[in-house]
Amino acid sequence: MSNLQIFELDPADGDLVSGAFEVLRASHAADAPEAPAPHKGKFALGLVNPPPGEDEATLIAVRDGVVVGIAEAGFPNRENLHFGWATIHVHPDHRRQGVGTELLDRFIEHARGKDRTTLTLDTRLTWEDGIERSKAGQLFAEKHGFQSALTWINRRCAVDALDAAAEQELLEKSQAAAGDAYEIVSWVGRTPEHLVDTMARLDSTILAEVPLGDLELGPETIDAELKNARADRNERMGVIPIQTIAVDKATGEAVANTAVFAYDDPEYTDAFQGITIVNPEHRGHRLGTLLKILNLRLVRENYPAVRTIWTDNADVNAPMIGINVVLGYEILDGGGEFQRKLDA
Ligand SMILES: CC(C)(COP(=O)(O)OP(=O)(O)OC[C@H]1O[C@@H](n2cnc3c(N)ncnc32)[C@H](O)[C@@H]1OP(=O)(O)O)[C@@H](O)C(=O)NCCC(=O)NCCS
């Protein structure tokens, strides 16, 4: 182990960037080949386009000139200043040699330097009769004093999971339930300028509304400036939001939203479900189902290469899971967020 070096990845060093990506590629192939493959272009672009509202650090472990592990870490810099997260991957050929532990130690050192006191690690898990996953991540996290704080379920849905007639029937039923109190608006790309403020208000409720288990995360205030900065980053990264919202005609406020994110890579067949949220005062009108079906149609029209949409939900989020099951989502596996408090 003596010649193992841990340092921050320099995005300008093409060989190391390729080496780090190779760890992610090999881990994906070994641990969860059914899940969407990591995308090299997005990985490289992410290194030079950090997300607004968060300081990021990509630590790599290098032995004899070969990248053998990577820890991608993030530290929110507007709110939740006590918090830090990391995702650690060790190349399958180099596991059980202490590489993961060295990366974790360096992450913890980084976090202490930023006065962070609550840290998380995440890993895939086996979920019920989904695909069986290695226990390595969980055992590694627990060995290092992290405890399970939130479990989620990963699901996937073919874009044509429902036959056309069944989809149309579901759409019409939800349209009838929603009535005419709402204006439905859809777009591909940036949020239209006149909707940015109301969408920022809706987005700000997300962390308070989404089940977070025992994760010690507080609400996040999203203003128009942050929203625009995130939209700029998506554009630079080639990540395209496809979004459908409901506006309450009585108040002009956005009260429900769903978003899917696609890559502007014609070869890439996966897309990712982002948050779906319905303001509590407007639940029970089938808005979640309505928006998701309309948005799915938009994905099919605009991204014909996309075959599968992926989503994850907290295991306790029954209403969202109920909608997803009706839409044809099936379980792939689970995931866990493990949390540890650092001594002051
Ligand atoms: C989890 C992972 C990062 C561990 O990396 P690693 O370099 O093999 O970890 P280490 O060698 O530092 O292991 C430290 C301890 O964790 C535990 N551990 C790690 N892998 C284990 C396994 N497969 N089975 C049982 N215990 C394991 C052991 O206690 C181990 O100590 P030991 O080898 O002395 O028994 C690696 O398996 C991996 O990349 N998995 C896929 C991605 C993932 O789930 N990452 C999330 C981590 S929370």
Which residues contact residue 63 at a Cβ distance below 8 angstroms, ignoring those fewer than 6 apart?
A: 3, 4, 5, 94, 99
Please give the distance, rounded to the nearest whole angstrom, from the Cα atom of residue 138 to the centre of ligand 1: 8
Which residues contact residue 218 at a Cβ distance below 8 angstroms, ignoring those fewer than 6 apart?
A: 79, 80, 207
- Walking along the chain (344 residues) 10 residues at a time, the average pLDDT comes out as 89 98 98 96 96 96 97 96 98 98 98 98 95 98 98 94 96 97 97 95 83 88 91 96 98 97 94 92 95 97 96 83 88 96 83
Count of other CB atoms within 10 angstroms of residue 139: 11
> What CATH number does the domain located at 156-332 have?
3.40.630.30
Please give the distance, rounded to the nearest whole angstrom, from the Cα atom of residue 141 to the centre of ligand 1: 8
Please give the distance, rounded to the nearest whole angstrom, from the Cα atom of residue 343 to the centre of ligand 1: 23
3-state secondary structure 263-305: ECCCCCCEEEEEEEEECHHHCCCCHHHHHHHHHHHHHHHHCCC
Probe residue for ligand 1, chosen from 96, 108, 119, 147 as the CB with the greatest number of ligand atoms within 8 Å: 96
Probe residue for ligand 1, chosen from 121, 140, 143, 144 as the CB with the greatest number of ligand atoms within 8 Å: 140
Could you give the count of Cα atoms lying within 13 Å of 136 in the half-sphere of its Cβ? 17
Pocket of ligand 1 (CB under 6 A): 27, 31, 88-90, 95-101, 121, 123-124, 136-137, 139-141, 143
Please give the distance, rounded to the nearest whole angstrom, from the Cα atom of residue 279 to the centre of ligand 1: 41
CATH of 4-116, one of 3.40.630.30, 3.30.70.1400, 3.40.80.10, 3.10.310.10: 3.40.630.30
What single-letter DSSP state applies at residue 133? -
The DSSP annotation for 197-237 comes to HHHHHHHTTHHHHS--TT---------HHHHHHHHHHHHHH
Could you give the count of Cα atoms lying within 13 Å of 71 in the half-sphere of its Cβ? 27
Residue nearest to atom 37 of ligand 1 (CA): 136
Whether 156-332 and 4-116 are alike in CATH topology: the answer is yes
Q: Where are the alpha helices (DSSP H) in 8-63?
A: 14-31, 40-48
In the block, tokens 């995308």 appear at 39
Please give the distance, rounded to the nearest whole angstrom, from the Cα atom of residue 30 to the centre of ligand 1: 14
- Single pTM value for the model: 0.93
Q: Spell out the domain ranges in the chain.
A: 4-116, 156-332
